[in-house]
Structure 1
Amino acid sequence: MMELVCPAGTPAALRAAVQAGAHAVYCGFADETNARNFPGLNFSREEMAAGVAHAHANGAKVLVAINTFPRAGSEDLWHRAVADAESAGADAVILADLGLLAHAAEHHPRLRRHLSVQAAAANPDAINFYAEAFGVRRVVLPRVLTVEEIAAINRDIDVETEVFVFGGLCVMAEGRCSLSSYATGRSPNMNGVCSPASHVAYAEEGDELAARLGGFTIHRTPKGAPAPYPTLCKGAFVSGDQTGHVFEDPVSLDATRLIPALAKAGVSALKIEGRQRSRAYVAEVVRSFRAAVEAQAAGRPLPEATLAKLTEGQAATTGAYAKIWR
């Protein structure tokens, strides 16, 4: 059976994911060492140790995301995070930075190392380099590959692959986004924040409500209409004589129906995005995917999809897995 790797943005979400059937949960410390560094999210050191103990007591693993890129001169913060993850009993750390991978391999050789999607390793040469140089045991593949491309990669590597199957999408190459840092000075890759709330402002202008990020107007909606959060790559932009979602529509990834194909392609683990989501959201998505992976492993038909109401804009896509736009 493929491993189901589930998000835990808080201790409550971790418990909900474990109870709902997660084989593993991924989470991070409450600082800039992880790429979901938002107020009210993440774990203190004590909470991490308690979360690992709870997961292990219920047969689940904990993977700690330390997946931002260290600031020059401040490497100690990231080094401490790796050490503290091991002390807490984590089953693996999810890393992206070359220097941090080297540090972990040298100073924490018994701690299993996974390569974060932030590293954007998308071909056998890159993946084999990380495996040979740093002992990486699993790579989280970027969301730019078809199922056929994933199968081809798996034939030429000797490490596990993990792929996203549900949750938010980004049009940028993983780990390479500069939009948020351009608009706000803070980026997901360095600071762990994308389109941070501290830089969001709404203003009534005539009959419209303008949603801005870092001074840039991202959306205009009629008064009384739902106002979306101003995420840069999902904004409505004017292009020629048309106004629309030039980069990406508000839509979520849902690859439930591709689970058999992903298993055949040699994928080891399925990842659900959503560390910013509520524990109720996490529990429902995890239950649905646990039923799906069990059905696939047993050779039964997949259960009926039930997650449409939880997708962004109540719309879903298989993203690049089918890549009909190539």
Structure 2
Amino acid sequence: MTGARARGAGQRPGPELICPAGTPAALRTAVAAGADAVYCGFNDETNARNFPGLNFSRDEMARAVRHARERGVRLLLAVNTFPRAGAFELWTRAVDDAARLGVDAVILADLGLLNYAAHRHPDLRLHLSVQAAAANADAIRFYAETFGVKRVVLPRVLSVEEIAAINDAVACETEVFVFGGLCVMAEGRCSLSSYATGRSPNMNGVCSPASHVAYREEGEELVARLGDFTIDRVPRGAPAPYPTLCKGAFAAGGYRGHVFEDPASLDAATLIPQLADAGVAALKIEGRQRSRAYIEAVVGSFRRAIDAHAAGRPLPAGDLRRLSEGQSATTGAYRKTWR
């Protein structure tokens, strides 16, 4: 099995490189740096990166679609939050606008919204968001057979061997994250942040909102808090990670540390050959809230690595550690180093 089942004539060999864009400028940067496809969202709560100053108006999205298409790049629209009760029309309007603007695929998580899109816009290509947390062949077959989903973004809790087994069992394409923020909870179940702040990542598009983050000094320690909860303590002068509940420190039985590993970013560049052999159709970079400099560096590095692998050359040396959380990186569950 290869990782290129969805590729059309004239496209580069190997898995697709899927790149983030939080602004029109970032989209242009991703396209120029070598993206095969760019994913972005409207500037409202229908997408899971609903931060001030980010995302696209309808007019900006129309221009983005034209810009990408003229350069042979696909545009994927994330409508990947779960609709609020009584406000379903905001999400259906996003799907309607996606179809009207001619995006290449829409990324959805909610069952009702998938049903709406499948029936109202049968020609619109559907991708299943990582927020749906479809982590086994039976779940993926359900989405593919019920709604016609063509690709599933897999949660970041699977090993390479587990991904290969899924691809052997399903006809649906799979996409995996290879760089950026590493959520160590099953995606789509971010209830802890909602409990602490009243803002849910998969309802409001905000994980650990800055308005609820506070740092204070206690003795010789710097304490990081989210709402009413202490998330971490570090020695005075040491780097303090941003307080997200899933990466908080815990003390139990005389041990103090993190449940999985210290806060770090995902970097699976060295696993490109294994992921391609496992049948992955696309490799995804996280970071719609990141700068153009970040986009240019990360997309360019992964473009060179994917092209080298496709040509049978050794992977080029690349060091993106300076762009990683805490300037440290991990392969996460792909090698099952923390589970």
TM-score (norm 2): 0.92
| CA separation of 1:249 and 1:325: change in aligned 2, threshold 3 A | closer
Residue 306 (structure 2) pairs with residue 297 (structure 1): no
Q: What is aligned with 1:236?
A: 249
Q: What is aligned with 2:181?
A: 168
1:96, CA displacement in angstroms?
A: 0.6
Does the aligned pair in 2 maintain the 1:239–1:246 contact within 8 Å? no
| CA separation of 1:233 and 1:324: change in aligned 2, threshold 3 A | closer
Residue 124 (structure 2) pairs with residue 126 (structure 1): no
Measure, in 1, the Cα distance between the counterparts of 2:222 and 2:331.
32
Residue 20 (structure 2) pairs with residue 7 (structure 1): yes
| CA separation of 1:158 and 1:179: change in aligned 2, threshold 3 A | same
Residue 89 (structure 2) pairs with residue 76 (structure 1): yes
1:155 maps to which of 165, 168, 189: 168
> Where in structure 2 are the equivalents of 1:192-271 lying within 5 Å?
192-271=205-284
Q: What is aligned with 2:119?
A: 106
Residue 175 (structure 2) pairs with residue 145 (structure 1): no
Q: What is aligned with 1:30?
A: 43
- CA distances 1:276-323 after superposition (whole Å, capped 9, x unpaired): 111100110000000111111111111112212211112111111111
Instruction: Please tell me the residue identity of whatever aligns with 1:148.
Output: E
Instruction: Please tell me the residue identity of whatever aligns with 2:108.
Output: L
Does the aligned pair in 1 maintain the 2:197–2:226 contact within 8 Å? yes
Q: What is aligned with 1:187?
A: 200
Q: Secondary structure at the match of 2:30?
A: helix
> How many residues are matched?
326
- CA distances 1:21-45 after superposition (whole Å, capped 9, x unpaired): 0000111111111111111211111
Does the aligned pair in 2 maintain the 1:4–1:24 contact within 8 Å? yes
Measure, in 1, the Cα distance between the counterparts of 2:212 and 2:171.
43
Residue 149 (structure 2) pairs with residue 136 (structure 1): yes
2:324 maps to which of 293, 303, 311: 311
1:171, CA displacement in angstroms?
A: 1.5
Measure, in 1, the Cα distance between the counterparts of 2:264 and 2:331.
10
Measure, in 1, the Cα distance between the counterparts of 2:25 and 2:48.
19
Does the aligned pair in 2 maintain the 1:124–1:153 contact within 8 Å? yes
Q: Secondary structure at the match of 1:143?
A: coil
Measure, in 1, the Cα distance between the counterparts of 2:289 and 2:144.
30
Q: What is aligned with 1:283?
A: 296
1:42 maps to which of 32, 55, 58: 55
Query: Which runs of 5 or more residues in structure 1 are unaligned?
Result: none
Instruction: Please tell me the residue identity of whatever aligns with 2:22.
Output: G
Identical pairs, percent:
76
Q: What is aligned with 1:92?
A: 105
RMSD: 1.5
1:60 maps to which of 59, 73, 78: 73
Does the aligned pair in 2 maintain the 1:5–1:272 contact within 8 Å? yes
Measure, in 2, the Cα distance between the counterparts of 1:97 and 1:222.
42
Does the aligned pair in 2 maintain the 1:27–1:63 contact within 8 Å? yes
Shifted more, 310-319 versus 275-284: the winner is: 310-319
Measure, in 2, the Cα distance between the counterparts of 1:92 and 1:102.
15
- CA distances 1:91-140 after superposition (whole Å, capped 9, x unpaired): 10000111000000111111100000111111111111111110101111
Instruction: Please tell me the residue identity of whatever aligns with 1:286.
Output: V
Q: Secondary structure at the match of 1:14?
A: helix
Q: Secondary structure at the match of 1:270?
A: strand
